[in-house]
Amino acid sequence: MDFSGNHILTIDQFDRGGVEALFNVADKMVPFANRDRITKVLDGAILGSMFFEASTRTRISFGSAFNLLGGSVRETTGFEHSAIAKGESLYDTARVLSGYSDVIVMRHPENGSVQEFSKASRVPVLNGGDGTNEHPSQALLDLYTIKNELAFRGRGIDRLRIAMVGDLKFGRTVHSLCKLLALFKDIRVVLVSPEELKMPANLVEYLREQDQVVIESDALEESISNVDIVYSTRIQEERFNSQEEADIYRGRFRLNQTIYTANCEPNTVIMHPLPRDSRENARELDEDLNDNPNLAIFRQTDNGILVRMALFALVLDVENEINSSARDTIWYTAGRSL
């Protein structure tokens, strides 16, 4: 797989070698993410960050990752702050923005919109999430986290047993993660959702075509009893016609410490792409799990920096130059330990 100068739009672009190359570069980013070292390898480069949908993690971590490589970030958030609100097309926006930037990351509520934008862009475009379709960088950081969590337990990704729980119809992170897991061997995926929010049939079929085992269920407790990872997701209320419709499903599958202790194996890892919905009627991942050492949700968010730094380094072809402009930090650092 060739990253250099290419858009990153879908997990379909990745093969196993590409994933391993990305993760090797991500591992090299640890001293920079920990603030032990700084690098100026992207000094002078500009990231155009365009988020037309709400985001905390993806927007800030892509921006921070670019800053940590020495580059600058220019961003727009929400249609109302963009000339798209005046009727400008994605084509014109892409032609303009790609004249101001060296690379662009974009999130948009419509499926396929980032791909459409990329066709008119003169610089590489990274998909920060397009509608219900895909969220490739999230899947990559999820898999990087899975790799690290399993390595800690003396395991590799092959033969993974994972339960994906919640809104599997509209949750783009699980769509991308299914495609990514299909690259590995002997994966067993348990899909736990209400009937109306099942994983799209084409993705279930794709997993089975790759000889992976897929089980669909609407029962949480029995589905999480024999897995390495429970990957919980939020009801994607922004994809429903109304709050009332989302309320039908909100809170249907709640994982808390009592349910975890009663059903999960002792080392089962708990993941979630975040945000988790902590409102009373939701709580798909209860805050009483916060002290559970197997809760990996904030290791996921930290790993997002490493994986997004690696994506920029590979796409902009500086992965072998990171250390040539690096030095130790001289300010107080908080003692992170990724």
Per-residue mark of binding to ligand CP, 28-67 (x: CB under 6 A):
---------------------------xxxxx--------
What is the CB neighbour count within 10 angstroms for residue 302?
17
User: How far apart (Å, rounded) are the C-alpha atoms in residues 47 and 39?
Assistant: 16
Beta strands in 97-252 (DSSP E): 103-108, 125-130, 161-165, 188-192, 213-217, 229-232
Query: Is residue 200 helix, strand or coil?
Result: coil
**Region from 39-47, 146-154, 224-232, 267-275 binding ligand CP, contact rule CB under 6 A:** 267-275
Query: Is residue 14 helix, strand or coil?
Result: coil
Out of 62, 93, 273, 319, the residue judged to bind ligand CP by CB under 6 A: 273
Our CB check for ligand CP shows the closer of 57 and 283 to be 57
Q: For the CB of residue 305, give the shortest distance to ligand CP in the complex, in Å.
A: 13
Q: For the CB of residue 138, give the shortest distance to ligand CP in the complex, in Å.
A: 5
Q: Which residues are the active-site residues?
A: 57-58, 86, 107, 135
Q: Does 278 contact ligand CP by CB under 6 A? A: no
Our CB check for ligand CP shows the closer of 232 and 263 to be 232
Relative to beta strand 103-108, strand 46-51 is parallel
Phi, psi of 4 (to 5 degrees): -55, 115
User: How far apart (Å, rounded) are the C-alpha atoms in residues 145 and 245?
Assistant: 33
Our CB check for ligand CP shows the closer of 49 and 93 to be 49
Residues in the chain: 338
**Region from 8-16, 231-239, 273-281, 312-320 binding ligand CP, contact rule CB under 6 A:** 273-281
User: How far apart (Å, rounded) are the C-alpha atoms in residues 288 and 337?
Assistant: 24
Residues that contact ligand CP, how many (by CB under 6 A): 11
Q: For the CB of residue 219, give the shortest distance to ligand CP in the complex, in Å.
A: 26
Q: For the CB of residue 130, give the shortest distance to ligand CP in the complex, in Å.
A: 12
Q: Do the beta carbons of residue 256 and residue 262 sit within 8 Å?
A: no
Which 104-143 residues touch ligand CP, going by CB under 6 A? 129, 135, 138
Our CB check for ligand CP shows the closer of 58 and 148 to be 58
Structure tokens at 261: 């202790």
Residue in 19, 284, 302 with CA at minimum distance from that of residue 163? 284
Binding site for ligand CP (CB under 6 A): 55-59, 129, 135, 138, 273-275
